[in-house]
Structure 1
Amino acid sequence: MKHEHKTPDFFRRSTLATLTLLACSAWSQENATLAPVVVTGNPLGATELIAPTEQLSGTELLLRSQPTLGETLNGLPGVSSTYFGPNASRPVIRGLDGDRIRILNNGGASEDLSSLSYDHAVTLDPLLIERVEVLRGPGVLQYGGSAVGGVVNVIDGRIQREPLFGPQGGVAGKLDAGLATGNQERGGTVLLDGGNDRYSLHIDAMSRKTEDVAVPVDLSCTRGGVTSTARRICNSASESMGGALGGTLFFDRGYLGASLSTYDTHYGSVAEDEVDIRMRSSRLALEGELRELGGWLQSLKAQFSRNDYQHTEFNAGVPGTLFKTQGNDLRLQARHARLGALDGVIGLQFDDSEFSADGTEAYAPYSRTRSSAAFAHEELATAWGKLSAGARLEAVQVESFGTPGVARFTPATRSFNPGSYALGALWNVASEWQLTSNLSWNERAPKHYELYANGEHVATKAEEIGNPELGKERSTNFDLGAAWKRGAHRAQLQLFQHQFSNYISLEGTDLTTSPPQYTYTQVQARFIGAEASGNVRLLDAQHKLDLTLRADTVRAENTSTGQPLPRIAPQRVGATLVWSRAAWGARLGVDRYAGQDRVPEGQLATGGYTLWNAALSLRDKVSGLPALWYAWVDNIGNTLAYSSSSILTQTAPGRVPLPGRSLKVGLQLSF
């Protein structure tokens, strides 16, 4: 795969700016008052959440960061990934993927086409993430009734919501560089923040280049008519770069901020030896909040984003299908005054997006989706805990314009009025025990491709046919949790069920054709599962030693036919020993994946496997600057494994295993 684009000038300039600012680091450290970025799934800022929430930040995020968001989160309780090779992977939560999972950027919409097709990359790169959260429960209705599985919120700090520095001002930042062996990765980031108590300025930039990924099995690769064999995934190289400028003005009772970001990636499509993809995305975000307004209205917050995305597929260097989407998202949220023990927010959201695809692989027509919604989230404090309630009412219009020159696409319009409601409760049973429960009724309007698709989808190797008569997808969702905590010891168990009365599934209707024909069909479906996690403090003196434990399982079934649903992660159990002493830290982990033989009739089962990993870190100083040296090894045993939640296990069996052994080393400087 040949990469023609070069590192942009802004990345080189920002790197030079960083080196200049390093000379002023002593002054900046004296004046910086950096506070951690804290954003939770609770719009009221409560620390006790009724629904389970997973979050990664700091060293924990750094030591598990992968080139994609899906692989970075994979392995958290209840979270797997779509794994379309090392460059395109989206989170799967409790067996639910695609548009049943909402991906946000700082609480605002992140528009891309990663839910349309598995080979489309997410536009949020883990190199620039400060914190990422997996959210569930009544609070997610403020982001969308379709988020049955949950919300993934990525925080990058490009618009600061609180001043980072005092009146005297300051500069702070981070410089990170890393190398990896498995994919020969060379990557780095630059992040700068400056300002005072009245304004802040932000700049960040990243660059990453990788080669084909090493695996523990010989694989063939055909390019230019020549076939070779190597222990690497053919056509898995990539090159990515991106960055942003942001700024915020602070007032006595609020702030107003803006950011402009760009992301550009060029990567191979691992399903085909000579097909590569160039994706470009830009995003404008505006955000502001007024606080302490007095009277009935306590605060008012507004967020607006404009996203422009395009994705071009090249076959042997020749441009093929071009996918585009442009979208605007506006959120208005108000927090009302307390009514006794009742606290809450109400809001409005408006979304308008346009989609187009031109080329031989354009299997869905030009379309436009517009939606408007009103939502509310309320919490009632009690002597024994709290109760919560959420509601969201939407109006959605999905319009097909057809495609110029393509007769099989015809204009059509559908309108829907989804309504979603949720209830939750938290009971402080004792000083160390909590019980939680959530019940929700969700409705989701069909997506444009579920209604109007009509053509071959190369990523799934199937002809996909939409159904313009689809109704709203409805589900009843329930989970029950118990949590215990005593000092550093903790344990948590969550049981859940999602019951769909008309789940939108891609069902085989004619498997004798080439490619086989699949049609979007509504069926009854049920997802049942459990998640468990815990921590045991083994040593608590100069040496600290913790044993973290995790396990999850989900069973998903098309109850209309009695067949299992496809691409469901198997039962998983894992444990990690985490040691620290002064500036040193180390960890050794293992994850056991059971075999997955509960697959639809005619599909392939996947075998079980065990993956070991280890990491080492050292906090030090380099030229007087705080430094973090780190190293980690993934798949220590170089185990051959295939993901059961990846479409490639079925469409390209044996072709795209999980990465083999890889060592990554790096240095992070802070100032």
Structure 2
Amino acid sequence: MNMIKSMAPHSWRQKPLWLAMMAALTAPVFAADNTSNIDLDQVPVTGNPLGVASDDMVVPVSVIGGRELSLRRQGTLGETLNGIPGVTSTQFGPNASRPIIRGMDGERVRIMQNGVGVLDASSLSFDHAVGIDPLIIEQIDVVRGPAALLYGGSAMGGVVNAIDHRIPKESLDGYTGRAEARFGGPDNTRNGAAVMDVGNGTFALHADVYSRETSNLEIPGYAVSKRKSRADGTPRDSKGNGKLNNSDALANGGALGAAWTFDTGYLGVSYADSNNNYGTVAEDSVRIDMQNKRLELAGEVRDLKGPLQKLKLRMAHTDYQHVELEDGVVGTTFKNRGMEGSLEATHAPLGKVNGVLGYQFQNTRFQALGEEAFVPSVVTQSQALYVYEELPIDKHKITFGGRLGETTVNSSADANFTQAFNNRFNPNSFALGGLYTIDDVWSVTANLSHNERAPSYFELYANGEHVATGQFEVGNTNLKKEESNGIDAQLKWKANGHSITLGAYATRFQNFIGLFDTGTTDPGSGLPVANFQAVPALFKGLELEGKFALNDEWALKLRGDYVHAKDTRNNDYLPRISPLRLGGGLDYHLGGWNARVDVLHAFKQNDVAENELKTNGYTNLSALVAYKLPVKYHVELFAKANNLLNDEIREHASFLKDISPAGARSILVGARADF
């Protein structure tokens, strides 16, 4: 998109964009009376293709959207979701962070955009950012636990589905939109976004644009931890003192979309272009310059006659590339280009049984070019058939389904990799679940699942120096498909504005594929050698979430989670597992005012893998105050304070926890508008 390309980094050309955003923020105050608004409810669209409410789902799903999402947005998808029960983040500095669900990350957490996979390179390396900027997301669904049945074998840990509404799905006669801008925080962020939809009742157009610029992250003291300095002699000021070296960023992008809407469905297309240039933190002289182009097609037809009642099509073509710049010179280039899609059909009820049949496919070509390319060029192709069914029995429900898949992973020979490999897998998954309604306020859900995952290209073929993790990684072409069996159960109570959910889960892996330190050193690079190996493993944990309406103005929220993960072969702890976390908050509403205070305490992590350092606990105290202006349309001003105790926050799940802490005490101010 030419308008996006013109947003050159480090240029005065940013100014027209900021003027447009601020104009958009004030426009609702004077908008015309004939404005038509769309009320987009926060209905989960992930985890159940039949569109039931989250309280009626067998699998645990968290939905964040609207005002709540706007107020908790961070610079990355991982940090935006961090703190949800069961969800942490990889936190490779402030610019690259993927969600971790129940101790599982990388390929086991499926990141999707509008129900179609994000084909970037973020699962390959922790310093690679996710190809989605939270500024343009309207809703995020998080499925905690195995979701391989509907979304592929890589969803053994869970699914994060970011929804942007770039393809309008509902009829619109008039216009609607939102805008927001914010300034401050520990990274001195200056960001903003504007979104607009217009339509005549039959055709609808969408446009959005965003920009985000940050400075080096302010931190409470030294970047290097005392433990690391004592362990290997790293100087404590080598990565910064008071500020984190090489942690600034500049990102921008936008999209255009259009759809034909009719009484029984829609058909639409969108095109998005985004750019992200950021420091990698691990190396002071290395930056990543990312470009991501995505073309989407989506459609749905409802109320069909005959055996099929609804058809839904989703497809996306992605052209992703990023270069790693070393002192401004291109060192390594990563490319991922491909297409993914699904066709899903809702069948007519078979007696009392309702369900869907689906076909899903993916075809990608990944390339790593340059001296530090530690994986070869790879073509991955996968396809699968799946079925999901529900049988209601009075106030109860039984769910069941299966998925049959085929995946091929083929590498190419080149100057760095002299041998080509071909691997083929048939990952299949099955699940049986149920919801039992005890009475009007109590219910229980349970889900049994068998999940299989084909090894990723880097688990199979990696063979080289990986500077981001500080290891020489070696893949294993003899890996078999990863298999696990799991159980997930929840006890729910809901009455008079109060609710509480207590969940427990356990997942046993027959052959958990992980990266394990061998204790040897590569003679060429001097880095420790780490091999991808398959070991038996057990993940188990607890999750708690509650909300209590104390009166019309005050509400109390509670949350907590705990993960315990071991290699059962040697009874060793697995690396980078988040410790026990407990949190709570008070929310106050009066007229146009809203204030809240929140605290999250992470305990010390002593259960560590071999060659892994322990991590101290921390307490993150944050606060928010917001005021809705007394004008016709929704315009809100807000201020957020984070890490009020100025604690040294190091996420144990982060590869960089000992050289890259979270931000220092800070205040961020902003404005948001919906019209």
Give, in angstroms, the shift of residue 16 of structure 1.
9.6
> CA distance change for structure 1 residues 575 and 409 in 2, over 3 Å: closer, same or farther?
farther
Report the alpha carbon displacement of residue 266 of structure 1 after superposing the two structures with TM.
0.4
Contact 1:409/1:454 (8 A) holds in 2: no
Measured against aligned partners, the alpha-carbon deviations of 1:196-227 in whole angstroms (never above 9, x if no partner) come to 3211110001001000010110459xxxxx98
| Cα deviation code 1:117-165 (max 9, x no counterpart) | 00000111111111101014676522112211111011111112211x3
Shift of 1:54: 0.8
CA distance in 1, matches of 2:91, 2:521: 27
Q: Counterpart of 1:193 in 2: which secondary structure? A: strand
Selected match of 1:643 from 639, 651, 660: 651
Where 2:507 maps in the other structure, the secondary structure is strand
* Amino acid in the other structure paired with 1:480: A
Conserved? CA contact 2:452–2:482, under 8 Å: yes
CA distance in 2, matches of 1:461, 1:238: 23
For each residue in 1:149-196, what CA deviation from the matched residue of structure 2 results, as whole angstroms up to 9, or x when unmatched?
Answer: 111011111112211x3xxx2112112111014111111001101003
Q: Confirm or deny that 1:498 pairs with 2:507.
A: yes
Question: Does the alignment pair 1:70 with 2:78?
Answer: yes
Could you tell me the TM-score, scaled by structure 1's length?
A: 0.93
Partners of 1:244 and 1:586 lie apart in 2 by: 34
Matched, 1:275 2:283: no
1:15 CA displacement: 5.1
Paired residues of 1:438 and 1:478 also in contact (CA < 8 A)? yes
| Counterpart position of 2:212 | 208
Tell me which of 458, 465, 482 is aligned to 1:473.
Answer: 482
Supply the distance in 1 between the matched residues of 2:365 and 2:132 (Cα, whole angstroms): 20
Q: Displacement, 1:22?
A: 5.5
Query: What pairs with 1:43-62 in structure 2 (closer than 5 Å)?
Result: 43-47=49-53, 48-62=56-70
> Retained in 2: the 8 A contact 1:377–1:388?
yes
| Aligned pair partner of 2:579 in 570, 579, 590 | 570
2:549 counterpart of 1:537 = yes
The one-letter code matched in structure 2 to 1:642 is R
Q: Tell whether the 8 Å contact from 1:69 to 1:125 is kept in structure 2 after alignment.
A: yes
1:86: which partner in 2? 94
1:526 is the counterpart of 2:531: no
Pick closer, same or farther for the CA change 1:136–1:603 going to 2, 3 Å. closer
Q: Which moved more, 1:504-513 or 1:459-468?
A: 504-513
CA 1:298–1:13: 2 relative to 1, 3 Å = farther
- TM-superposed deviation, 1:8: 7.5
Alignment partner, residue 657 of structure 1: 661
The residue correspondences of 1:105-144 to structure 2 (distance < 5 A) are 105-136=113-144, 141-144=149-152
Q: Which amino acid aligns with 2:639?
A: A
Q: Which residue of 2 aligns with 1:417?
A: 426
Q: Secondary structure at the match of 1:474?
A: strand
- In structure 2, what is the equivalent of residue 319 of structure 1? 330
CA contact (8 A) 1:215 1:233 kept: yes
Measured against aligned partners, the alpha-carbon deviations of 1:423-454 in whole angstroms (never above 9, x if no partner) come to 11000011000000001000000011111110
CA distance in 2, matches of 1:375, 1:303: 15
Whole-angstrom distance in 1 between the partners of 2:438 and 2:548: 21
Q: Post-superposition shift, 1:561?
A: 1.6
- The answer for unaligned runs of 5 or more in structure 1 is 221-225
Contact 2:21 2:180 in 1 (8 A): no
Deviation per CA, 1:495-554, whole angstroms, max 9, x where unpaired? Answer: 0001000010111224344201111111001101000111122223xxx11110001100
Tell me by how many angstroms 1:24 deviates.
7.0
Asked if structure 2 preserves the Cα contact closer than 8 Å seen for 1:138 and 1:389, the reply is: no
Q: Following TM superposition, by how much is the alpha carbon of 1:4 offset from its aligned partner in structure 2, in angstroms?
A: 5.0
How far off is 1:626 after superposition?
2.5
The root-mean-square deviation of aligned C-alpha atoms, in Å, is: 2.1
Q: Does 1:482 align with 2:486?
A: no
CA contact (8 A) 1:248 1:257 kept: yes
Q: Deviations over 1:73-126 (max 9, x none)?
A: 001000000000100000000001111010111111211111110000011111
Residue 670 (structure 1) aligned to one of 647, 665, 674 = 674
1:197–1:37 CA distance, 2 compared to 1 (3 A): farther
Contact map agreement 1:279 1:312 (CA 8 A) in 2: yes
Cα 1:23–1:433 change in 2 (3 A) is: closer
Q: 1:223: which partner in 2?
A: none
Q: CA deviation at 1:602?
A: 2.0
Q: Secondary structure at the match of 1:26?
A: coil
Between the two proteins, what is the percent identity of the paired residues? Answer: 41
Shift of 1:385: 0.8
Q: How far 1:361 moved relative to its partner? A: 1.2
Aligned pair in 2 of structure 1 residues 258, 17: CA closer, same or farther (>3 Å)? farther
Aligned amino acid, residue 531 of structure 1 = E
Alpha-carbon distance between aligned partners in 2 of 1:421 and 1:484, rounded to the nearest angstrom: 28
The partner residue of 1:431 within 433, 437, 440 is 440
Shift, 1:384, TM fit: 3.6
Q: CA deviation at 1:488?
A: 1.2
For 1:32, which of 37, 49, 60 is the aligned residue?
37
- Paired residues of 2:145 and 2:488 also in contact (CA < 8 A): no
1:162 counterpart letter in structure 2: E
Is 2:565 the counterpart of 1:553? no
Change (3 A) 1:159 1:343: same
Shift of 1:669: 2.1
CA deviation string 1:365-418 (max 9, x = no partner): 001000011011100011141010121111100000023x22x44111000011
Rounded to whole Å, the distance in 1 between the matches of 2:239 and 2:271 is 43
**DSSP 3-state at the match of 2:412:** strand
Q: Give the alignment of 1:589-604 within 5 angstroms.
A: 589-604=598-613
Q: Secondary structure at the match of 1:327?
A: strand
1:367 corresponds, among 356, 378, 382, to 378
How far apart are residue 267 of structure 1 and its match?
A: 0.4
Query: Aligned equivalents of 2:102 and 2:145: distance in 1?
Result: 13
Aligned pairs for 1:353-364 within 5 A: 353-364=364-375
Structure 1 residues 357 and 137, CA, compared in 2 at 3 Å: closer, same or farther? closer
Q: Secondary structure at the match of 1:141?
A: helix
- State the aligned residue count: 650
